[in-house]
Structure 1
Amino acid sequence: MRALRTLRRGGFSVVGLAALLVGGAAHAQAGPDLTAYAQTGLIPFLPSSQQPFEAPPKVALRLEGPLGAFQPHPVVMDTGSTGVVVSAADLPGYSAAKAAAYPAGWEFLSSSKRLWVGHWVPTTIVYADAAGGEAARAQVPVLIVETAMKCPGYDTKTSPGTCAAPTETVDLPRGIAYMGVGFGRERNGQTQGTPDKNPLLNLTALAGKPISAKGFRKGYVITPDGARVGLTAQAAAGFRFVKLDARPGGGPLDWGQAPMTVAAGDQPAQAGALLIDTGIATMYLGVADPAALKTHTETNQNAKTPSKVLDDGQTVTVTVPTAPATTFAFTVGQGDPIAPSQVLVNSPMTKAFVNTGRHALRRYDVLFDADGGWFGLRER
């Protein structure tokens, strides 16, 4: 067995380890060959007075569609959902009759239990660069929200897009502006969150130049500066990669979540799926025996309901079977910059699940290769 080579920085560690030593080792490979691709660009995040990823990253964009042009306030970029969502009432050309001509749609955010219902309207999205010019342009259906509900009992399988007992309902809400760019989210209440809705995978131009059919690799890199779209060898330098599984029944560009193992408290490591979510500051932790963890009850910062939360002093260790493997760990309550604001403990899960929240991005850049099905992490 090869020895571990560990560099510790407070509560954080990077472990160089042969991929065969961790769960999901069959996924780990060297990475994609990007030498044939040259077209790339940056969609910058708007400046913030807070430290990186303390708040959700935001971008400036303009919408141009059949219900009128609209430039919302800074729009949250969320890797935990898929699809652009805006309030129907904020569109200057909206009417119920016009909207009804387009496919009915919905999106559910499991962290906050929000269900948005409306119609998917074909729209051009124009992203602004740091100087106010055009960084990129995309063409995707946008969900215009006509009803917003809080739905704690949402059931994806039996009633997608409906809520039998909402605790809150708002017709024609205003102020919703959200850009979901995540992958593998269909099983988490987002049955319509398919790659054709992802604005970073459906670009038509970068800085005014049309996307090259041969020179553009669909995917992105998330850094503190913004989302780099169009993968190149230079953009991917320094990343460690793991191969993703194609999502069963999915089409092109449709990949499952990244594999990982997680050990919490004194419980053994369990294999499962990983999500690095810019939309929330908390972590969601799902393991087989959550009752064995040391927890207490406090208010969930997302859903505002009582939830089980991991006690201070408990350590969480997540290992991603990149080549070589990447491990990060923190101890709750010690103030590590990558530690989430809460570790919310889910109900028992036969396959583990970790939503890290956005704080992991304080030390890692994240890469998603949609054309080839690769996930990458790069320590900064």
Structure 2
Amino acid sequence: MYMEIFRPEFNEKSYVVLAISGGPDSMAMLDLFKNEKYRLVVALVNYKKREESDIEQENVRLFCKKHNLIFETKTVDEKVVGNFQNWAREYRFKFFKDLYIKYNAKALLIAHNLDDHLETYYIQKERRTQTRFYGIAQETYIDDMRVIRPCINVLKSDLLKYCMENKVYYSIDCSNLSDDFLRNRIRHRILDKMSNDEKYQLKDKIIKENIKLEKKFSLVDELYKKYIDGNNISFELFEEDENIIECVLFKLVNKKAYSMKAIKDIIRQVKSDKSNLIIPLDKERCLVKEYGNLYVSPNSDPDYYYYTINRPREFDSQFFTILKVGDGKHQLKLNKEDFPLTIRPYYEDDYIELKDGKKKISRVFIDHKIGWTKRKKWPIVINSKGLILLVCGLTKHYNYSKSREDFDSEIYIYEKVND
């Protein structure tokens, strides 16, 4: 069976780290590379989330012992609060980085396949993510590590077939069978219904779209140099095409999780008639508009926060908590189209749509006699379309009242605000 595997060239003294989970994708990659002349370091993280995880770890260890490969493992022995997927990614990449340094490795190999590439493309489109590359790149750098994906042009089904034909041990993670995560839903509802030819056609389409993206961002890079000097930003930038402004600001904030809605919100505020304002960018920085100047400044406000919630789940932070049960004034009935949610403090121009019309959030606070120190921290919930749905515990968008019937899920968001 022919598979389009990318095989990087390294000398026989080079160390290369392989990220292995025990699943068919990574085990096929491991078997395909087991006889390479360079030295392989097999890295596995045992999250202890499933009963089979210890058995899977032992089977990978035995494979490495049989083929004289270095085996490194790390076991999670802490309770994770919040978004496990994000935490797990940070945890394993820190482990990979430690091994990369320990062995002075030349590369980190990850077994992403063509299906992963196509799924990522659909996720980016559904979330309207601002990106410089659609899908997953064959080669990139993460935390100063050269990351290579040798199987990115190979169908997931072909990697599974390879394991079966060559009697390579693999395990199946049952969590991948559920529809709890967006990636799984796309896999089951879209990719699983596509033929192999349709997948290859989509791959070719993505290549063409990435060529267009590269041309666009080459222009963006030129305009970035033209309009941004250190921390200072020229107002002339905001006379450009809206899409160009968005791309330049996206490069400025340099945050993967920054939504297009947040970028548009920045543009709206900068273009407003207000001569002086402060726009938070993240926990460390803010955009300051004052006396005809526009610049990025360190964010000295300890009460600023910006959270992205990608699905209905319980979550706890310093400023709010999300529960699955609660009272009506903290309840939100949601559809999947509402996600991702953004939770942050209010901006001066924020308003919410009520039955009797639009109302500024500042007026909501005044009506409820909420003092200034609490207002700075009070959580505001915004959906993927930019609608403010909830001022926690105070009021909610008229379409998201308790009587709403067309909803997929419900959560309860409680403010944790002290003077």
Tell me the TM-score normalized by structure 1: 0.24
Could you say which structure has the larger radius of gyration?
A: 2
Tell me: higher relative CO, structure 1 or 2? Use CA pairs within 8 A at least 6 residues apart: 1
Where is the helix percentage greater, Structure 1 or Structure 2?
Answer: 2
Q: Normalised by the size of structure 2, how large is the TM-score?
A: 0.23
Q: Which has the higher strand share?
A: 1
